[in-house]
Amino acid sequence: MVLPSIKNTDFIFRRFNVELEGPAIPVEDTPEVKGAVPTAEPFKTLALAVVKGDTDAVLSKVKDALRTTKPLDIIEKGLAKGMDAVGALYASGTYFLPNVMVSADAMMAGIAECEKALGKTTEKKGKVVCHVAEGDPHDIGKNLVVMFLRAAGYDVIDLGRDVPIETVVNAVKKEKPIWLTGTALMTTTMSNFPKIAAKLKDAGIDIPFGCGGGALSKEWVETFDLGFFGAKSHHAPKLADAILKGMGWKDLRVKYSEVVGEYATGKGW
């Protein structure tokens, strides 16, 4: 069996990802890493271990550093700086999502080690409640949002998947988060979101309710109060930071792209 040959594939397709690929540079020499990682030790080594997503190295370097350095400094000047570099590498297209995940795992392991030394958990920036709609088992998007938020220093109450409306509403009343997220893949499960928003409004709660997932669109989410459309999981920390500074759901609907730093009002793949 021999398939016919194609004279010139440029008239059929172009592999832009290959055409646009830059030169191979070791990750530590990239501008993203140089711009974020400190030069002083032990912070540089700690940050680079996070950049490389090496949990074992992070744990061993954190243990070494704890002999001479305060746990909070290790977190803020070392581990967090490494994660800043990872975020920049992801934004520039050098890193892919799994790189971010393994770096986040490594950083969280390092933070846990520091918290052990501190004897308490570190102060978080704010609290976010995350859930997947009732009847919906698809939780990969929610898990990514949870990971991005935790890596950025937020306290996340993860309610899991297939979560009844009342459970979500009660969690918001109890936890008083700055923000609620909901994800859904199916058209009929996402209809729980306006019901949740209505119950929160009835209870006098006016927090942003970020909704995302395969079946949702910006147009649909903006049909109910509190709702704004979340386009990509990695936007979550920037959105949380904006909410922490006082941005409400009405502004987020308009300024979303500005807040996350990229065009993001449309749906994804």
Per CB under 8 A, 181 contacts other proteins = no
Q: How far apart are CA 213 and CA 110, in angstroms?
A: 31
Binding mask 125-154 for other proteins (x = CB under 8 A): ---------xxxxxxx--xx--x-------
Q: How many residues bind other proteins (CB under 8 A)?
A: 46
The answer to whether 240 and 154 have CB atoms below 8 angstroms apart is: yes
For 76, 111, 205, the CA distances from 152, given in Å and listed in that order, are: 11, 12, 25
CA distance linking residue 134 with residue 132, whole number of Å: 7
Q: Please select the residue that binds other proteins; options are 107, 156, 215, 226, rule is CB under 8 A.
A: 215
Cis peptide before 38 (omega within 30 of 0): no
Nearer to other proteins, 42 or 82 (CB): 82
The piece of 59-67, 166-174, 187-195, 236-244 that touches other proteins (CB under 8 A) is 187-195
Question: For residue 30, which phi and psi values (nearest 5 degrees)?
Answer: -75, 150
Does 1 interact with other proteins (rule: CB under 8 A)? Answer: yes
| 133/189 Cα distance (integer angstroms) | 6
Among positions 54, 115, 164, 220, the unique one binding other proteins when judged by CB under 8 A: 220
Angle between helices 165-175 and 192-202 (to 10 degrees): 40
Binding mask 17-46 for other proteins (x = CB under 8 A): xx--x--x----------------------
Backbone angles phi, psi at 209, to 5 degrees: -120, 100
- Name which of 129 and 147 has its Cβ closer to other proteins: 147
- Minimal distance in Å, beta carbon 40 to other proteins? 31
Cβ distance 107 to 50 under 8 Å? yes
**Looking at beta carbons only, is 66 or 102 nearer to other proteins?**
102
Beta bridge partners of 179: 128
What SS3 class is residue 156?
A: strand
Binding of residue 56 to other proteins (CB under 8 A): no
Provide the pairing of β-strand 179-183 with 209-212.
Answer: parallel
Among 97, 112, 203, 254, binds other proteins (CB under 8 A): 97
Residue 65: CB minimum distance to other proteins, A:
25
Residues forming contacts to other proteins in the complex (CB under 8 A) are 1, 3-4, 6, 9, 12-13, 15-18, 21, 24, 90, 93, 95-98, 101-102, 105, 134-140, 143-144, 147, 160-162, 186-191, 214-215, 220, 268-269
